[in-house]
Structure 1
């Protein structure tokens, strides 16, 4: 796909990886629909995309809300004419052990911890993809859908909810690539490892050192490196149904 004048929705676009991908695609000439729940951060992302030379708009949307997603996708289609791409990037963390026993006291991962992550990180991907794919088919235009999975999809201690969601995202990617190819819609995913973001910047230095020590390249990845992979998927018309593992050689 040639990105010039293509219309791309990016969820979780208010900061970090989402904003970086938005700016990278804007530099390549794409028009960006920015989706998030934080208006202030969306306005900053909007300005960054416009400074990169793109036309952009933002949409305050909870991706776990079916009616909100339906309305957002329809509004994007109305505003931009058609939708050519989607990056399902929105996600949250509610880490914790399944059970924890200390000094005879038992604690458990709560249902709300589980459900909130599944709702955003898995159901949100389903809802956004369903609505965007339907728009593409109705308008009879080809398209590309990129899902952000994670190295944690293999299973990571303290991330029962997150790992389950990201494994589901990887599985849905393959299913959709097979189902949607008949409509000339490609679907692929990126599975980042440990990436330098605002969230990791707030970690204690000793924790960051332990984290990076296990990475063969001895550093965390950058948002720009993830954005480069997203652009590659859009631009390579034969890439579909596969997951780019971008983790510096680390395997959990």
Structure 2
């Protein structure tokens, strides 16, 4: 896909990976629909696009809410003229062990609320946005691209039952959509990041970060630009579909 003038929707675009991905695509001339729940952060992020070839428009949306997502894509259609691509990046963490015990007595469990919050945003939100994007692409006769952000945690990670399950589901959606949507000229692929330097990982204690880095064969964390470059590769290589690309410095959990 030549990205110039293409309309790309990026969720969770106000900061971190989402913003880096959106900026990278805008540098190639794509017009970006920036999606987030934080209107103030969205306004700040939009200012960074002013000098780039691609234009940016902001939309506030809770992607776990079906009615909001339907309205979102209808508004993007009206304001930007259609949808050529989607990056499903938005996600949250609610980490916790399935069961915590001491001396044979259970002291805590992962709550249903923490489970459901992560599944709602990280999996259901991906489904809803993917469905609506595909719907508009098909009705407009556009050969589009859907890129989902999964994680190497999809293989299982301590303290992340909810997150791992959601990201495994995202990988499954990716391959399913690639098979279902190919007849319409729509490609679907995913990126599975390892440990990336973002606002989220920035809150981790330095000694824990050092321990994490020591487990990575390349001995360093990735940058948001590493993920953005991979997303751009998927968009611009017209024969990439149905695959999950791991970007993790050779660390596979």
Which category describes the TM-score, using the shorter chain as reference length?
A: over 0.9
Single out whichever of 88-97 and 47-56 deviates more from structure 2.
Answer: 47-56
Structure 2 partner of 1:56: 56
Structure 2 partner of 1:135: 136
Query: Is the counterpart of residue 97 in structure 1 residue 108 in structure 2?
Result: no
- Measured in 2, the distance between the counterparts of 1:197 and 1:156 equals 19
| Offset at residue 105 of structure 1 (A) | 4.5
- Measured in 2, the distance between the counterparts of 1:199 and 1:90 equals 13
How many correspondences in the alignment? 252
1:160-199 pair list within 5 angstroms = 160-199=161-200
TM (normalized to structure 2)? 0.98
Please report the RMSD computed on the Cα atoms of aligned residues, expressed in angstroms. Answer: 0.8
1:120-159 pair list within 5 angstroms = 120-159=121-160
- Measured in 1, the distance between the counterparts of 2:22 and 2:143 equals 20
Question: Which 4+ runs in 1 deviate beyond 3 A?
Answer: none
- Measured in 2, the distance between the counterparts of 1:144 and 1:70 equals 19
Query: CA contact under 8 A between 2:30 and 2:53: conserved in structure 1?
Result: no
| Offset at residue 199 of structure 1 (A) | 1.4
Structure 1 partner of 2:251: 250
| Offset at residue 13 of structure 1 (A) | 0.3
| Offset at residue 54 of structure 1 (A) | 2.1
- Measured in 1, the distance between the counterparts of 2:215 and 2:106 equals 32
| Offset at residue 52 of structure 1 (A) | 2.2
| Offset at residue 51 of structure 1 (A) | 2.5
Structure 2 partner of 1:31: 31
Query: CA contact under 8 A between 2:150 and 2:168: conserved in structure 1?
Result: yes
TM (normalized to structure 1)? 0.98
| Offset at residue 202 of structure 1 (A) | 1.7
Stretches of structure 2 that go unaligned for 5 or more consecutive residues are: none
- Measured in 2, the distance between the counterparts of 1:91 and 1:97 equals 19
- Measured in 1, the distance between the counterparts of 2:169 and 2:89 equals 14
- Measured in 2, the distance between the counterparts of 1:238 and 1:117 equals 32
